[in-house]
Amino acid sequence: MSGLRFLDLVKPFTPVIPEVQVPETKVPFQQRIVWTSVTLVIFLVMSQMPLYGIVSSDTSDPLYWLRMMMASNRGTLMELGITPIISSGMVFQLLAGTHLIDVNLDLKSDRELYQTAQKLLAIILSLGQAIVFVATGLYGLPSDLGAGICVLLVVQLLTAAL
């Protein structure tokens, strides 16, 4: 089947989107513990670091019951939690499983394009969620915050989601 595949559209983004290389040798257990601990500390610090520019309010959290599933904290850098990457993974699993996209995960090149497409969708979802969160007044009315603070909030949320 010749022609342009969906995954070929993400080829220009492969040099830009980072990828973790598979280790060539077995990684020692202690080194894995150290990196896991460092990652956990970064996650916990980001979960406590408030977003700059939000208007604190005593109103109830509309996403309160979803916070545990999303691994997020209200008003912090981890506001979006793991939702974008989990959602993009599920979307691509469904697309590949139903053969709506042509992908052969046994081929290294297809696997790399598939993972790049997943990450790209996660970035797009993060941007969309950040814009929706700010525009709907989750951090204060956008008219009260001003355009600069609104853009800053979106940038903070997008950067933290990366």
Global confidence as pTM: 0.83
3-state helix, strand, coil split of the chain in percent (to 5) is: 60, 0, 40
Q: Residue type for 137, please? A: G
What does the pLDDT read at residue 22?
82
- Each residue's pLDDT tens digit, 52-78: 888 776 677 777 777 777 777 788 888
pLDDT for 3: 55
Residues 5 and 102: beta-carbon distance below 8 Å: yes
Residue 8's pLDDT band (boundaries 50, 70, 90)?
Answer: confident
